[in-house]
Amino acid sequence: MARLAVLDDVLFPVVERPVFTVLAVDKEERRVPVPGKKAIVNVSSGVVLGVVSRTYRLVSNREALDWAFQCCRTVFPETQPCEWMVDATDAPSTGSYCAIDLSHNSAALDFSFVPAHQRPEAFGPYIRVTNSYNGLRALRFDIGYHRKVCKNGLILPQSIVRFQFAHVRREIQETIKFEVARERLTQAREAFQSSLGTLRDFPMDCEESIPLLKAVLGIHAPNPIIPKSPAEADWNALNLHIGQVATRYFDELGGNAYSAFNAITDFASHPPDNRLVRRDRHGFQTRVGRWVAEFSQAAPCTGFNLKKYIQNLDLSPPVYHSPS
């Protein structure tokens, strides 16, 4: 299904409207208000984006974007507002939710992974704001890293920005205050840099990377696969795409897990249009962030077996506990 990838396409005006139902009373139809409910409507198209409770706090995508710029300045106080720019936008065609990425437009926050005698690999941070109009996603701000040359990236598995609220008025006021775990931010950067080294040092061939990519991203074959069915055609097309992505990076970067990492982040950052691809970019990149942290701890262990590791890989998100 086509997605919205242009910022202006998600900055449409929205309004709240009451919800009514039609009842037949004495052979006549009457409009009756639905108590405790309201609709969020796209003013430009007239489409209802969601039906939510009366306590729902509407945050427009434009308002969320303004807060995202504020978040960037809070997380990285050494930067200037004009140095941040919208780098990517992703939303379903309905516009019911969206994710907007802001990246720093200079090299001041970048770091290089590959040693100087080789081609430098610059990585930089970005901040993603996620907002929804149907109440299914909290307003949240995440930090990720991407390879600057291609923008393939991941979302860090731990929360650095302490701001994630459900859309209710008691939690989201007219202004917000971000709390940043700066020590954790430093640790996350160092851990990610160390993980890249582990990936570079771990030998792997292209064929081994394909089942790893599927396991990391949770991609499974349809069951059963009916010969000559649309599902079989989708599965064949998906396998062809995965093979082409993996081959490209192994040809470019050599036989190691770092090549697999780049193939995985490429797929996660640019999911193909295929009915068997059931996660969005944020969901995929979040899984990659958890995998990199997990793999960098498991791979150096004595007796590590890649095939068994792939078979047992579980990237279920950790249980969230509210801070006391």
pLDDT tens digits along 121-150: 889 899 999 999 998 888 889 999 999 888
Same domain as 207, residue 177? no
Model confidence at 167, pLDDT cuts 50, 70, 90, reads: low
Same domain (yes/no): 191, 206: no
Task: Give the pLDDT confidence score for residue 319 in this predicted structure.
Answer: 43
**Model confidence at 168: pLDDT above 60:** no
Q: Is the pLDDT of residue 80 over 50?
A: yes
- Contact assessment for residue 144 and residue 129, using Cβ atoms and an 8 Å cutoff: no
Has residue 3 been placed in a domain?
no
Is residue 278 domain-shared with residue 207, that is, in the same domain? yes
Same domain, 183 and 73: yes
More confident call, 161 vs 102: 102
Q: What is the mean pLDDT of residues 278-290?
A: 93
Q: Which residue has better confidence, 301 or 321?
A: 301
Least confident of 3-12, 67-76, 207-216: 67-76
Give the pLDDT confidence score for residue 324 in this predicted structure.
Answer: 32
Residue 209 in contact with residue 259, Cβ under 8 Å?
yes
Co-location of 103 and 48 in the same domain: no
Distance CA 110, CA 123 (A): 5
Please work out, in degrees rounded to the nearest 5, the angle formed at the alpha carbon of residue 319 by the alpha carbons of 64 and 57.
25
For residue 1, tell me if it sits in a domain. no
Boundary-marking domain end, from 171, 195, 219: 195
Query: 314 falls in which pLDDT band (50, 70, 90)?
Result: confident
Which residue do the tokens 């434009």 mark? 62
**For range 147-166, the mean pLDDT:** 78
Residues 33 and 75 in one domain: no
* Mean pLDDT of the 296-321 span: 83
Pick from 131-140, 169-178, 201-210, 218-227: least confident: 169-178
Same domain, 77 and 185: yes
231: pLDDT strictly greater than 60: yes
Is 141 inside a domain boundary? Answer: yes
Say how far apart CA 103 and CA 140 lie, in whole Å. 16
Share of the chain above pLDDT 90, in %: 63
Specify the number of domains making up the chain: 3
Average pLDDT, the chain: 88
183: in domain? yes
pLDDT for 323 beyond 50 = no
Given 195, 229, 264, the domain boundary residue is 195
Please report whether residue 322 resides in a domain. no
pLDDT at 117: 59
- The answer to whether residues 84 and 74 touch, using CB atoms and an 8 Å cutoff, is no
User: Could you tell me if residue 227 is inside a domain?
Assistant: yes
pLDDT tier at 1 (50, 70, 90 boundaries)? low
Q: Which of 195, 218, 248 is the endpoint of a domain?
A: 195
Same domain, 84 and 185: yes
Q: Is the pLDDT of residue 119 over 70?
A: no
pLDDT value at residue 54: 87
- Give the start-end residues of each E strand in the chain: 3-4, 14-25, 28-42, 48-53, 84-92, 97-104, 111-112, 122-132, 139-147, 152-155, 164-165
In a domain, 321, yes or no: no
Distance CA 47, CA 45 (A): 5
Cβ of 256: how many Cβ atoms within 10 Å?
A: 17
Please compute the mean of the pLDDT values over residues 98-117 and round it to a whole number.
Answer: 84
Q: In terms of domains, do 105 and 38 share one? A: no
280, 160: one domain? no
Residue 86 sits in the same domain as residue 113: yes
Asked whether residue 323 is domain-assigned, the answer is: no
Asked if 134 and 39 touch (Cβ cutoff 8 Å), the reply is: no
Per-residue pLDDT tens over the stretch 241-281: 999 999 999 999 999 999 999 999 999 999 999 999 989 99
Which carries the bigger pLDDT value, residue 186 or residue 159?
Answer: 186
Q: Are both 191 and 65 inside the same structural domain? A: yes
Q: Assess whether pLDDT exceeds 50 at residue 320.
A: no
What is the model's pLDDT at position 212?
A: 97
**pLDDT at 292 (0 to 100):** 95
Q: Model confidence at 174, in pLDDT bands (50, 70, 90)?
A: low
Going through 13-60 in order, the beta strands assigned E by DSSP cover: 14-25, 28-42, 48-53
Range of the domain at 107: 61-195
